[in-house]
Amino acid sequence: MILNTELEYKGDLFPSSIIEYKKDVDVLHFTTANNVKLQLTVLRDSVLRFRYSTVGKFNKDFSYAIDKNASRGYNHLEISDDEEKYIVTTAKLICHIYKVDLRISILDAIDKTIICQDELGFHWEESYELGGDIVKMSKVAQNGESYYGLGDKPEHINLKGRRFENWATDSYAYGKNTDPIYKAIPFYTGLHNGKSYGIFFDNSFRTYFDFCQERRNVTSFWAAGGEMNYYFFYGPKMEDVVVSYTDLTGTPELPPLWALGYHQCKWSYYPESKVKEITKKFRDLKIPCDAIYLDIDYMEGFRCFTWSKEYFPEPKRMVKELADDGFKTVVIIDPGIKIDMEYDVFREGLEKDYFCKRADGPYMKGKVWPGECYFPDFTRPKVREWWAGLFKELIEDIGVKGVWNDMNEPAVMDVPGKSFPPDVRHDYDGNPCSHQKAHNIYGMQMARATYHGLKRFNYPKRPFVITRSAYSGTQRYTSTWMGDNVATWEHLQIANIQAQRLALSGFSFAGSDIGGFAEQPNGELYARWIQLGVFHPFCRTHSSGDHGDQEPWAFDDEITDIVRKFIEIRYELLPYLYTTFYQYYHDNVPMLKSLVLFDQEDTQTHYRTDEFICGNQILVCPINEPNSKGRRMYIPRGEWYNYWTKEVITGGKETWVDADLDTMPLFVKAGAIIPKFPVQQYVGEKEITQLTLDVYYKDGKEDSELYEDANDGYDYTKGRYSLKKFNFAGNGDKMIIRIHKRGLFNTSYDTFKINIHGLPFKVKSIKVDNEYVDLKEVKFKNNSLVVTKLFTNLQLKAD
Ligand code: MIG
C-alpha cells in the first residue's frame, strides 16, 4: 500500500485505524478512532456499496437513482480478518479493508488479482466556506487501465488522461471539449488486464472525476458536498458491469414501437398549415415517418399547457387528422411557468405553494422563454402529482402522444451560471436541501412527473417522453437527446461518441439532433448523419430553424433518395431494433456496443471511437468526412458480411471499406439471423403477413433473438409476447436453425421468408421439424424459402 505522504492536500483529513467492526446481515459497519464510519453493503456477489460518514452517523438513505426493483442477493458471503485487514469474500470478489486506515482493495475471487485498489482512498476536507464537506476518493490506476462511461460528454470514448465535471448545464452549440453539458451520470467502468469493473458515485452534488490526468497513476472522484457513497460492480466482462449498473438504476418499459420509427422536428413548425405541409410531403415522397414535433411556438406566449389560438385554433382536430395519417404528435413542455395571474397553471401553482423558493423566502424567479417565471419543485411528490395531472387535456382529450421536456437543467437566461442560484430550496422527497444537491436531479424529476402524466392519460397505450437533462436512473422514465449540437462534420463524430457513451452509461434510448441543431448542414453532411442516426435507438431530425430547412427533401433529389433509402432500412430493421430494446428493457443490455464492450480482450478496441455494434450483430461505422468514397475502419474479431456486397471479411484488423454517398460501412455478424419488416410509411401502416429472416451463413454457431408483441399497450407484461431464440449451426454441407419459443403472443403473420446469404453448398434436401419436405413446397429458390412460423427445426443439406 502507498502511504499518505506528500501527495495529500494540506487540508485533507483521513480515517484513522479501525476500532470497531459489526456485521448486520449483509451490512458491515466499521468505525475508526477518529469517528469515521464505513458502511459496506454486499448487494450481490459482484456488487458492493460503500458509504462513509465523518460525523459518526449517516443521514437518511435516499437516492433518486436507484431502481426499487434492483436485484439483490448473493450466493456466498464470508468475513474474516487477520492482523492487517478484514477480508470479505463473495462468490465473485474479495474485498480487503485495512485496519490501519480503512483503505480498500478489491480482488478477483478466483485468480486473486487486484481489480481496484484505494490510493489515498476515502478522505475529506471540512469546509464551512464551501458549505459542507468535500468528500474525496482516489484509486490506484492499474497498468494499461482504460476508462469509459460518464454519460454523453462529447470528447472521446476512452476517458483516460481526462478530467470531468458533472453539473447539468444548458450548453448551446457545445464543442468537443465542453464540459459539463446537460447531463450528470457519475458512473464509469475501468478496464485493465482483460478485466472490467465499474463505479457509480451516487452523489447528486457537483461531482468531479479525474482519470489519470492530474497524476498519471491515480483516478479520483470527489463531490462538493453530500456523502461519499459509491457502488462497485465487478465484471470481469464489461458488458456485465454495465448490465449490473443498469439493473441497479433501472431500464424503461418498452416504448410504443412507433417511437423507434423516424421523427421529424424543428424549432418550430407552425401554423397548422405548415405542419400539414410537412407531414403531407413525407407521405407524397414516400419517406417513412412516425412522429411530428411542436416546439415552443405552439403555445400561447410560451405558457405550458396552452395552445396558440392563432397558429393552432383546433388542436384536437389537427392531432386527430395527423394521427389518421399515421403521425404521432409530440409537444414540448418546459419547466418555467409564466408569472401571470390570468394563467391558471401559474395561479394554481402559486395557491398550492408548488414553486421553488430562495433560502430567505422569496420565490425563485428566472427569465426563460415566457419571460419571468417560477419553477415547480419537482422534487416534491405532491408537485409531481400535480404536474402529471396537468397533462389530462393534452393527452387524454387532444390526443398528443409524446412530450418533450427541454430546459430542465434547469436553464435560466441572462444570469451567471445559467441556472438557479445555489441557495434555492428543494423538498427532495422529504429530505430538504439546497439547489446544490438538487440541481443535477431537477430535470430527472421533471421528466419523471411528465412520464407519470402520460402514462396515466394515455393508458392503456404506452407513454413516450424525451428529456434533455438527466441524472443516473432517468432512463427509467424517458428517452433523451444530446441537446444543441452543430451542423459540422466534427459534430457528426461527436453524436456517435455521445450515443455510445450514453449506452455504456445505462441510458440507451438516445439520439442526436440529426443534421445538427445550430447552423445549416449541406446535403452531404445531412445524408451522412441520417446514415448514423438510423442506427441510434432514438432517431430524430431537429434544427434550430433560424437557417434553411432540414427535412429529407431540403437539399436535392439525390440526397432525398439517400435519406429515404436509409430511413427505409430502419423501418425494415424495426423487429431487430425492437428486439434490441427488449434486451435492454429485460436483460439490462446496452443497445449500442462500443467495440471495447463488444470485445474487451482485443486491446485494439480500447481506443476505437467510430465503429459500434447496433444490437448484437450489426456493425456500423459512419463516414465522418466530406467527399469520402469510403474510409478505413477497424473490423472486430470474427467474421462479418458486408451488408451491401455480402462479401465476408475476417476481423481483427483495420481495413478500407468503400462507401459512396449512397452507402456506408455496414456489416452483419456471420451466423446472425436478422428479422425484417416490409417498408412501411409508419408503424402499423401494413399488417405484417410474412416476416423476413435474413440468415448469414457461418461455419459454426451463433445465437439470435426475436422479440415481438402488440407493439403498444401492456399485454406483454401479462405474458402476451413472443420471444424466439434462434440457434444457428453450419458445418460446410449442412445448416440447422433451431428455435426455442416463449410467450403467448400470436403474431399476425403465418410464415417466415428465409433468405440465406453465403451458403457454401447447393441445397439437395430440406427438413422441417425432422420431416423431409419438397423443395417446391417451401418455394425454394436462390437460397430463399418460405416456412411456417411454427417450425422449431430447419435443416438444409448438400445431400
Ligand atoms: O433556448 O425550444 O435544446 O431542442 O428547439 C432554446 C427551443 C430552447 C433548446 C433545445 C432545442 C429547442 C429549443 N430549446
**Radius of gyration of the chain from its Cα atoms, rounded to whole angstroms:** 27
DSSP line for 129-174: TTTSPEEEEEEEPPTT-EEEESTT-SS-S--TTEEEEE-----TT-
Q: What's the pLDDT tens digit per position in 412-462?
A: 999 999 999 999 999 999 999 999 999 999 999 999 999 999 999 999 999
Share of the chain above pLDDT 90, in %: 97
| The pLDDT of residue 5 | 47
**629 conformational bin, left if phi > 0, alpha if psi -120 to 50, beta if neither:** alpha
Which of these, 756, 788, 789, lies nearest to 773 by C-alpha position?
788
d(CA 743, CA 775): 31
CATH of 592-669, one of 2.60.40.1180, 2.40.440.10, 2.60.40.1250, 1.10.3720.10: 2.60.40.1180
Summarize pLDDT for 72-94 with one digit per residue, the tens.
999 999 999 999 999 999 999 99
From the alpha carbon of 544, which atom of ligand 1 is closest? 5
Would you say the CB of residue 245 lies under 6 angstroms from ligand 1? no
Q: From atom 5 of ligand 1, which residue's Cα is the shortest distance away?
A: 267
Q: Does domain 687-797 have CATH number 2.60.40.1180?
A: yes
Report pLDDT for 705. 98
Residue 797, beta-bridge partner list: 734, 765
Query: What number is the average pLDDT over the span 44-51?
Result: 98
pLDDT of residue 482: 98
Mean pLDDT of the chain: 97
Q: How far is the CA of 506 from the centre of ligand 1 (A)?
A: 25
Please give the Cα distance from 38 to 459 (Å, whole number): 45
Residue 399 CB–ligand 1 contact under 6 Å: no
Whether 602 is a known active-site residue: answer no
Evaluate whether 262-335+379-580 and 687-797 have a shared fold: no
Q: Are 57 and 38 contacting, i.e. CB atoms less than 8 angstroms apart?
A: no
Of residues 24, 71, 76, the one with CA closest to residue 43 = 71
Q: 143 is written with which cell numbers?
A: 497498468
The closest residue, in CA terms, to atom 12 on ligand 1 is: 267
Q: How far apart are CA 269 and CA 273, in angstroms?
A: 9
Question: 335 CB under 6 A from ligand 1?
Answer: no
Q: What is the pLDDT of residue 547?
A: 83
Looking at residues 296-309, what average pLDDT do you find?
Answer: 98
Helical (H) or strand (E) element with 273:
helix 272-284
Could you check whether the bond before residue 180 is cis, i.e. omega within 30 degrees of 0? yes
Give yes or no: 165 in active site: no
Q: Answer for the pair 223, 135: CB distance below 8 angstroms, yes or no.
A: yes
AA identity, residue 220: S
Confirm or reject: Cβ of 409 under 6 Å from ligand 1: no
Instruction: Say what the pLDDT of residue 4 is.
Output: 47
CA 370 to chain CA centroid, nearest Å: 31
| 167, pLDDT greater than 60 | yes
Which runs of consecutive H residues, i.e. helices, occur in 305-402? 315-324, 344-351, 381-389
Q: Which of 295, 368, 466, 540 to mutate to test the pocket of ligand 1 (most atoms within 8 A of CB)?
A: 295
Q: Summarize the confidence of residues 382-402 as an average pLDDT.
A: 98
Ligand 1 centre to CA of 341 (Å) is: 26
* Candidates 155, 227, 247, 484; catalytic one: 484
What does the pLDDT look like over 606-651, one tens digit per residue? 999 999 999 999 999 999 999 999 999 999 999 999 999 999 999 9
Is the confidence at residue 232, as pLDDT, over 50?
A: yes
**What pLDDT score does 130 carry?**
60
Pocket lining: 332 vs ligand 1, CB cutoff 6 Å: yes
CB 156 within 8 A of CB 82: no
Of 407, 409, 519, 541, best ligand 1 pocket probe by most atoms within 8 Å of the beta carbon: 407
Report pTM: 0.98
- Residues 219/160, Cβ–Cβ less than 8 Å: no
pLDDT tens-digit map of 273-282? 999 999 999 9
Catalytic residue, candidates 101, 202, 406, 705? 406
Q: How far is the C-alpha of 709 from the C-alpha of 585, rounded, in Å? A: 14
Ligand 1 pocket, residue 272 CB under 6 Å: no
Candidate list 334, 409, 427, 702, residue with the active-site label: 409
Q: Is 483 close to ligand 1, i.e. is its CB under 6 Å away?
A: yes
Pocket test for ligand 1, best of 171, 267, 414, 544 (most atoms within 8 A of CB): 267
CA angle 432, 436, 441 (to 5 degrees): 80
- Report the separation in Å between the CA atom of 468 and the middle of ligand 1, taken as the mean of its atom positions: 9
What pLDDT does residue 9 have?
A: 58
Please name the amino acid found at residue 607. Answer: Y
Would the pLDDT of 225 be above 50?
Answer: yes
User: What residue spans of 539-684 are helical by DSSP H?
Assistant: 557-572, 574-587, 595-598
Q: Which residues, including other chains, have CB under 8 Å from residue 611's CB and lie 6 or more apart? A: 595, 619, 620, 621, 633, 634, 635, 636
Distance from the CA of 406 to the center of ligand 1, in angstroms?
Answer: 7
Q: Give every CB contact of residue 31 below 8 A, 6+ residues apart in sequence.
A: 18, 19, 20, 21, 37, 56
Each residue of 516-557: pLDDT tens digit?
Answer: 999 999 999 999 999 999 999 999 999 999 888 999 999 999
Task: Write down the domain spans for the chain.
Answer: 18-142+195-235, 262-335+379-580, 592-669, 687-797
Residue 673 alpha carbon to ligand 1 centre in Å: 40
User: Does the annotation mark 409 as catalytic?
Assistant: yes
Whether residue 410 is preceded by a cis peptide bond, meaning omega within 30 degrees of 0, is yes
Report the C-alpha gap between 47 and 72 in whole angstroms: 9
Question: Model confidence over 367-391: pLDDT tens digits?
Answer: 999 999 999 999 999 999 999 999 9
Q: pLDDT band at 246, cuts 50/70/90? A: very high
DSSP 8-state class, residue 301: T
**How many A from CA of 371 to the centre of ligand 1?**
15
What residues contact residue 397 under an 8 Å CB cut-off, 6+ apart? 316
- pLDDT of 133: 85
Matching CATH number, 262-335+379-580, of 3.40.50.280, 3.20.20.80, 3.30.1490.20, 3.40.50.1240: 3.20.20.80
Q: Mean pLDDT throughout 748-760?
A: 98
Three-state secondary structure call for residue 383: helix
Residue 546's pLDDT is what?
84
Ligand 1 center to residue 125 CA distance, Å? 39
**Where does 18-142+195-235 sit in CATH, by number?**
2.60.40.1760
